[in-house]
Every structure is written in C-alpha cells, then in structure tokens.
C-alpha cells in the first residue's frame, strides 16, 4: 500500500457516508441532507488531490495501492489511475454534489435513503475507474446496479418497475460474458491484474471471442445501437438525480471499458471488427438523432440525444485502427481517442445540466411533455437563459465544451475515411434541430397556460447547480488544454498498444497491426509524417 491511500479514501469515504446517512434514519431530514452534502464535498476535494499530484509526463499508473484480498484466488485489492481514469473520477465526485443539492427539497419520501444511495454509488463508480484487478473491477461494476436499481424502483415514475427490471436485465446480461472473458484471461496470465492482461499474446479466435464478450458488456452501458432501448425508459422513470448520474457518469463507464480492456488487450480483434463499431456508432449518431426529433417528452429527447452523442465517443475510439496502420497519420489516432475522452467529460456536464433543467420544470408543473410548456422565459428569465445556453452546448456551439470533443473526433475521422466524417458531421445539424426545436416550444413564444404563467424563477439552490455546470461547460470549451495535457501521455501509450500485433508467433503472418514501432517513433518525435 502507498503511504497515503488517497484512492481508498475517495472510494470508501462516500460509501461510509452513505451508511452513516442511512443509519441516521428519517428522524431529521435536514441532518441527513447536510451530512450527505458534507461527505460529497469532502470526497470531491480529496479527488482534486489526484489532479494536483498527478504527473502528466508518464503513462504509468499513479497513486497505486495493492494488497492481498483473496490470496487463494490471486485476487488483490489493486488500485491506480492514469490520464484516462483520473478525469473521470473527478467528474464523478463533482457531479454527485449537484445530485445531492438537486434533491434537497424535492425528495420528501425517505430523503436519507435517497441521499445514501447516491453517496454509495459515488464510491462504487470511483472504484470502477480505479480498479486494476479484474475481479475487483467486476465487483464494483456489478455493485453499481444495486443503488441505481433502488433509486429508480423507489423514487421513480409510475412505470418504474418495468424500467428498473429492463435496466437490470440488460446490464447484467452483458456482464456475465465479461466475467467469463476475465476468468479465461486469468488462466492465460496466471493473474487477475488488468495490466498483466495488456501483455498477453492471444490467438485471433480468442481475441475475437474476448472482444465480443467485452462488447456485450460495454455496448449496453454506453449504450450503443441496438442495445440502447433500456436508456430512454430508465431516464423517463428515474428521479432527476438518477437521470443525471445515468447520463453524466454511468454511460461513460462503457466508453472507459473499451479503453481499459478492448483496445489494449484485443487490438488485432478490434482492428478486424472496427467496421462493426464504426457502423453502430454512425447509426447511433444519425438514426437516433432522427428518433430524438420526434420525441414529445423532454427527458426522452435528451436521453436519445445522449445516445447520439455517445456514438461520437465510440467512433473516435475505433477509427484509431484505420488510422494507426499508416504511421504518417498516427497523430490522428491520438486525436480520436482524446476527442472521445473530451466528449465524455463534456457530455457529463451538458447532459447532467439538461436533466437538471427538466427537473426544475417538472418540480413546478409535474409534466415532462413539451406541449405542456411555452413562453417559460417570460416568467423564468434566468432559467430560460441557462436552458438556452445548455441547449446550444448540446448542439456543439463553438466556445462550449460540446464543440471541442465532436470537432476533434470529426477531424480524426477525416483521416480515416472522408465519408465516415461526412456522416458523423450530420449530427451537428440533427443536434441543432432537435435541441432548438425543444427550446423553441418550451422556452420561447407566448405563455400558453396558467401553470406556466404562475412559474417562479430559479431559487438559490437551482442557480448554484446550473451556474456551476455552465462555468464548467464554458471553461472546457474555451480552454480544454489542461484536460488534454493530463491524458496525452496515457493516450499515446494506448495508441502504441492498439497498434501492436499481439498474436502469438505462429499466427504473426496474419497480423493486421504490425506498426507499433513506427507509431511509437512518430509519437516520440523521432519520426516525422
């Protein structure tokens, strides 16, 4: 173990906080709320220590902690972060604060249990991003389902039982195949260390089967077409906080899985099947964008928007395998992965803020139907300003974080294939169409009914939430360099791994990827395109 187990504190502090809040019971809702907020803020402050102490010049794992957990099965309590996982941990602890604040006055039924569920989920999701032992990763991965299952099932809408069961079955189904793949690789590596998995030489058949097993698990989480149908139902039935966590954090765990497992462990299979992921990503970007256009429920529209935007993430990750085979274009591989990462962080801010905006209206009118509103800006000018801003960011307006990631992915995709890039760019039009269509009918125009006429503008709690997220969207949109600098060395190392042939010697003649050395030389600056 390290001298100061920072990751352990960030994981277990909110879990302990959730238990404390849960144990406090419902005798004093005010004490439960303040206790939950204190634990959430303290966890976020501790997570900033990862950023402060992080060395961006190396791709090695940092803040590493390791101790025997289940020695008889070679399972360790093994934690560490790199430039990919560390920003996602900070995003998780950051968003949790707004979820706690958003439910401050709205949740009147068992508020302590509600706050406890989110605190526990905070710690578990940090565990997913920092676990370097495959079984520890799997335990945290499955543990995420429990608090979200409870949140939707207890505080959700009228069809919450259906949405909860569908959410659980979809996510659990894919996870079973991932567990089988992890156990197989343990017998190959004689270790459950994920970093040891990265060094395995696996035959093409084994790589393809492992890749498919990971795809079934991660595609559901992203979610990718056609296993996306659980997400709109879950969003519609979930309380506001549940929708925020689903969109801002849980979808990112699927993307993270591709970077931590699929690309470095099965690069040859990933290269052979990259066309499948690119095809599914383009379908998500275009087809789901049209689906979003016809939605009448604000939450459903934003949910489908999330699926389309996450299509950019998987596209950026997998165009790598087309680009990396030409060393002269390898810088585009780095741009694709970094663009996907920026898109994940940005989407966490924007989608979380949009669901909070819907929550503000729902708390007052108790309707998510677009037709129930109109002219909201006349009675809620500050709210109208925030909602229009986040809508513009969702459409990819330059100067906001929504533009940066998508622009980088499109540039990288151009290096891979011109027509893929043209198709991907259509989302800029579609996103503007369905987002502005919603804003026009909800925010602008004349006041349609008495409920809208009686609306009161944002209170201090709501202004804090939306204002902080707006600042984050602007900061990342205007100055993305700090985030990209932190992840750059890690992404370069990942590109080298993704460009390496990891087939055993007797299958080397089948290598599609055999240019790791020229790629590494280019990225080190010793070769020029």
Query: Longest C-alpha distance within the chain, in Å?
Result: 75
Q: Report how far residue 355's alpha carbon sits from residue 391's, in angstroms, rounded to the nearest whole number.
A: 11
Whether 90 contacts 103, CB under 8 Å: no
Direct distance between the N- and C-terminal alpha carbons of the chain, in angstroms, rounded to an integer: 43
Q: Report how far residue 181's alpha carbon sits from residue 189's, in angstroms, rounded to the nearest whole number.
A: 12
- Give pLDDT, residue 526: 39
97-153: pLDDT as tens digits = 999 998 888 878 888 899 999 999 999 999 999 999 999 999 999 998 899 888 988
- Give pLDDT, residue 455: 86
Angle at 353 between CA 439 and CA 394, to 5 degrees: 55
- Give pLDDT, residue 415: 83
- Give pLDDT, residue 518: 42
181-198: pLDDT as tens digits = 999 999 999 899 999 999
Q: Quick one: how far is CA 227 from the chain centroid? A: 16
pLDDT for residue 172 is more than 60 = yes
pLDDT for residue 319 is more than 50 = yes
- The mean pLDDT value of the chain amounts to 87
Phi-psi region at 398: left, alpha or beta (left = phi > 0; alpha = psi -120 to 50): beta
Calculate mean pLDDT across residues 18-47. Answer: 88
Residue with the bigger pLDDT between 224 and 516: it is 224
Q: Report how far residue 324's alpha carbon sits from residue 377's, in angstroms, rounded to the nearest whole number.
A: 49
| Confidence bin at 160 (pLDDT 50/70/90) | confident
DSSP for 130-178?
HB-BHHHHHHHHHHTHHHHHHHHHHHS-TTHHHHHHHHHHHHHHHHHHH
Calculate mean pLDDT across residues 149-173. Answer: 85
Q: Report how far residue 390's alpha carbon sits from residue 306's, in angstroms, rounded to the nearest whole number.
A: 13
Whether 216 contacts 173, CB under 8 Å: yes
| Confidence bin at 324 (pLDDT 50/70/90) | low
pLDDT for residue 177 is more than 60 = yes
Whether 450 contacts 310, CB under 8 Å: no
CA dihedral sign, ordered 175, 179, 185, 189: positive
The DSSP bridge partners found for residue 66 are 78
3-state secondary structure of 288: helix
User: Quick one: tokens of 3?
Assistant: 């001298």
List CB contacts of 202: < 8 A, sequence separation 6 or more. Answer: 188, 210, 265, 266, 502, 503, 504
Residue 340's closest CA among 307, 358, 315, 377?
315
DSSP for 109-121?
SSHHHHHHHHHHH
CA atoms within a 13 Å half-sphere pointing along the CA-CB vector of 100:
33
Eight-state DSSP code of residue 369: B
| Confidence bin at 328 (pLDDT 50/70/90) | very low
pTM for this prediction: 0.91
Whether 217 contacts 175, CB under 8 Å: yes
- Give pLDDT, residue 31: 83
407-443: pLDDT as tens digits = 899 988 888 888 888 888 877 788 888 888 889 989 8
Eight-state DSSP code of residue 70: E
Q: Report how far residue 509's alpha carbon sits from residue 496's, in angstroms, rounded to the nearest whole number.
A: 20
3-state secondary structure of 515: coil
Helices (H), 366-380: 376-379
């Amino acid at each position: 173990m390290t001298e100061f187990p920072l990751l352990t504190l960030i994981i277990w502090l909110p879990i302990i906080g959730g238990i404390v809040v849960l144990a406090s019971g419902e005798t004093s809702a005010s004490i439960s709320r303040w206790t939950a907020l204190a634990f959430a803020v303290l966890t976020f402050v501790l997570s900033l220590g990862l950023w402060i102490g992080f060395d961006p010049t190396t791709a090695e794992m940092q803040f590493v902690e390791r101790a025997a957990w289940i020695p008889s099965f070679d399972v360790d309590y093994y934690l560490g972060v790199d430039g990919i996982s560390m920003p996602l941990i900070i995003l998780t602890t950051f968003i949790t604060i707004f979820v706690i604040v958003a439910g401050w006055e709205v949740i009147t039924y068992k508020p302590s249990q509600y706050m406890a569920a989110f605190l526990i989920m905070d710690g578990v999701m940090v565990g997913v991003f920092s676990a370097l032992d495959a079984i520890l990763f799997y335990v945290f991965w499955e543990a995420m389902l429990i608090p979200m299952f409870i949140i939707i099932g207890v505080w959700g809408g009228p069809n919450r039982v259906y949405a909860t069961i569908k959410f659980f079955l979809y996510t659990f189904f894919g996870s079973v195949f991932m567990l089988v793949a992890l156990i197989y690789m343990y017998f190959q590596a004689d270790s459950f260390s994920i970093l040891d998995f990265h060094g395995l030489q696996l035959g093409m058949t084994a790589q393809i089967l492992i890749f498919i097993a990971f795809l079934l698990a991660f595609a559901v989480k992203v979610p990718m077409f056609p296993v996306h149908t659980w997400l709109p139902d879950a969003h519609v039935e979930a309380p506001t906080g549940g929708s925020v966590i689903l969109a801002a954090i849980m979808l990112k765990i699927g993307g993270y899985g591709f970077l931590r497992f699929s690309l470095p462990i099965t690069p040859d299979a990933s290269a052979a099947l990259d066309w499948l992921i690119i095809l599914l990503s383009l379908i998500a970007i275009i087809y789901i964008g049209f689906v979003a256009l016809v939605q009448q429920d604000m939450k459903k529209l934003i949910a489908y928007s999330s699926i389309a935007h996450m299509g950019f993430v998987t596209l950026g990750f997998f165009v790598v395998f087309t680009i990396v085979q030409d060393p002269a274009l390898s810088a585009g591989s780095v741009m694709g992965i970094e663009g996907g990462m920026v898109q994940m962080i940005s989407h966490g801010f924007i989608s979380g803020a949009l669901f909070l905006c819907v929550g503000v209206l729902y708390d007052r009118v108790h309707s998510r139907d677009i037709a129930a509103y109109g002219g909201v800006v006349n009675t809620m000018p500050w709210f109208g300003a925030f909602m229009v801003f986040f809508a513009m960011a969702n459409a990819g307006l330059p100067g906001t974080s929504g533009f940066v990631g998508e622009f980088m992915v499109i540039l990288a995709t151009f290096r891979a294939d011109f027509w893929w890039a043209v198709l991907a760019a259509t989302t800029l039009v579609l996103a503007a169409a369905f987002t502005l269509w919603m804003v026009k009918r909800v925010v602008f125009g004349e006041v349609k009914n008495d409920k809208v006429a009686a609306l009161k503008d944002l209170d201090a709690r709501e202004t804090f939430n939306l204002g902080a997220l707006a600042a984050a969207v602007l900061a990342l949109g205007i100055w993305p360099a700090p985030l990209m600098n932190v992840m750059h060395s890690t992404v370069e190392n990942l590109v080298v791994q993704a460009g390496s042939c990891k087939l055993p010697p007797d299958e080397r003649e089948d290598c599609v990827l055999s240019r790791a050395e020229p790629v590494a030389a280019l990225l080190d600056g010793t070769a020029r395109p």
